[in-house]
Copies of this chain bind each other. A is one copy, B any other.
Amino acid sequence: MKVGIIGANGYGGVELIRLLKSHPFAEIEFLVSHSTSGTNIKELYPHLSSILEMSLAQVHVDQIAESVDVVFFSTPPGVSLDLLAQFSEKGVLCIDLSGDHRLTDPEVYSQWYQKEPASANILNQTVYGLSEINKESIKDSKHVANPGCYPTAALLGTLPVVKEGWVKENSIIIDGKTGVSGAGRKNSLATHYSEVNENVKAYKLGTHQHIPEIEQLIASFSGNTESITFSAHLVPMTRGIMCTIYADLKEPVTSEIVTDLYHSFYENHPFVRVRETGDLPKTKEVYGSNYCDIGIHCDERTNRLTIVSVIDNLVKGAAGQAIQNMNLLNGWDETTGLTGAPIYP
């Protein structure tokens, strides 16, 4: 199957290339980049020498649509708003790694992204691509809105207890910690080595655009529309996200009982690994892989649940899940091309 990547010169794009090169059924046909078109990708990323030496092209929808079956958008906010509809019209399957098609309520999108939303028609045809949760509807869809990195870790960690109604929705607090690669390759003081190394910072408190995405899914599982608290923190590493999730329990339960719930919730989902009670996952334990590892701690003193959920932000949080969704869209086993073990240490 022929594949095109729009925004191939960013870290998300490059991670798509790495994973697609190991995919048995996918062939990269087009790399698109507005800002670096005309350049060979290996000039920008010498690690791709002899692996994929392809020029980056401008986006010509007609030409690309003729050659590819699937297109991935690994683009900044706003870019896919217009383009996805065009590709869709021509029958190309679309997987959007940006946030442009994740929020079903156009007003919420406008409010958090400060942009005009996609058309209602397009949004209706789009499925939120949290693969484990929306597996069946993804299979039947034409467009997938690939989840944000934080929401992937946060929601896989939270939804089982929300669905059961075991926690008070308005008590949910998600403390997120991310590596720097999530900020992309653009130069800024926020990604400057000397500013990031030996440093932890909190950012975008109360204003992070992943907040409505998390709330939307929680609401759909709980039936309530409670606000949650989400805080983002940058830690000095390249890859990895941990979400430490806190929630008040409605009734006392033990760690074992909650762990059992998670084991059974994710029984048929090979990319979610629920740890035994007492064992908590570390971000490095999923490095480079499509796993989401989850650990559970119920605290009797406080009657509060703590859930630790980790992913590689560029794999399960972006390119890996996008390929998982491509597999589902095409009716392949969802693990196709994604079975690489985490790289450790």
A195 at the interface (CB under 8 A from B): yes
Contact A197 B237 (CB under 8 A): yes
Q: Binary interface profile of A, 163-199, with partner B (CB < 8 Å = 1, else 0)?
A: 0000000100101010111000101110111111111
Contact A200 B177 (CB under 8 A): yes
Contact B185 A239 (CB under 8 A): no
- Which residues in B have their C-beta under 8 angstroms from that of A227? 301-302
- Which residues in B have their C-beta under 8 angstroms from that of A299? 205-206, 229
Contact B244 A233 (CB under 8 A): yes
A48 at the interface (CB under 8 A from B): yes
Partner of A341, one of B21, B237, B289, B343: B21
Instruction: Closest B residue to A177 by CB, please name it.
Output: B200
Q: Binary interface profile of A, 233-269, with partner B (CB < 8 Å = 1, else 0)?
A: 1011111101010100000000000000000000000
- Which residues in B have their C-beta under 8 angstroms from that of A240? 198-200
Give Cα A182–Cα B51 distance, bound, in whole angstroms: 27
Q: Which residues of A contact B (CB under 8 A)?
A: 11, 14, 17-18, 21-22, 45-52, 170, 173, 175, 177, 179-181, 185, 187-189, 191-203, 205-206, 227-229, 231, 233, 235-240, 242, 244, 246, 270, 273, 275, 279-289, 293, 295, 297, 299, 301-302, 304, 306, 308, 310, 339-345
23 A-B contacts (beta carbon < 8 Å): A21-B339, A22-B339, A46-B293, A50-B270, A177-B200, A180-B197, A192-B193, A193-B197, A197-B237, A198-B237, A198-B238, A198-B284, A200-B242, A201-B280, A202-B242, A202-B306, A205-B280, A229-B302, A231-B244, A233-B242, A235-B237, A236-B237, A238-B345
